[in-house]
């Protein structure tokens, strides 16, 4: 039963990552900001391999920041 919930969470994170990547691609922001957001998405993707619940929390925070227009500063 726990494995089923883990698979469901994996599917949700995968779908949300796809959505986040699409949002980042569509943003009209400087390239440095886009790169910073892409790095954050890569960190979440890497975290999902080791700690799926933590990755889901990080991704939720990132999506909320994107929805509210809070972006990291670009280099």
Q: Model's pTM, two decimal places?
A: 0.83
Higher-scoring residue by pLDDT: 75, 34: 34
Rounded to an integer, the average pLDDT of 17-41 is 94
| H helix intervals, the chain | 2-26, 31-48, 52-67
| The predicted structure's pLDDT at residue 1 | 56
pLDDT in tens, 25-36: 999 999 999 999
Coil, strand, or helix at residue 69?
Answer: coil
- Asked if 75 and 35 count as a contact pair (C-beta separation under 8 A), the reply is yes
Residue with tokens 């995968």: 14
CB contact set of 63 (below 8 Å; sequence gap of 6+): 16, 19, 20, 23
pLDDT in tens, 56-66: 999 999 999 99
The region of weakest confidence among 2-6, 14-18, 20-24 is 2-6
| The predicted structure's pLDDT at residue 75 | 61
Domain ranges of the chain: 1-74
């Amino acid at each position: 039963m726990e494995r089923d919930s883990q698979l469901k969470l994996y599917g949700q994170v995968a779908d949300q990552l796809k959505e986040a990547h699409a949002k980042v691609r569509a943003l009209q922001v400087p390239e440095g900001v886009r790169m910073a957001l892409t790095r954050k998405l890569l960190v979440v993707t890497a975290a999902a391999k080791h700690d799926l619940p933590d990755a889901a929390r990080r991704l939720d925070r990132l999506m909320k920041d994107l929805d509210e227009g809070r972006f990291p500063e670009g280099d």
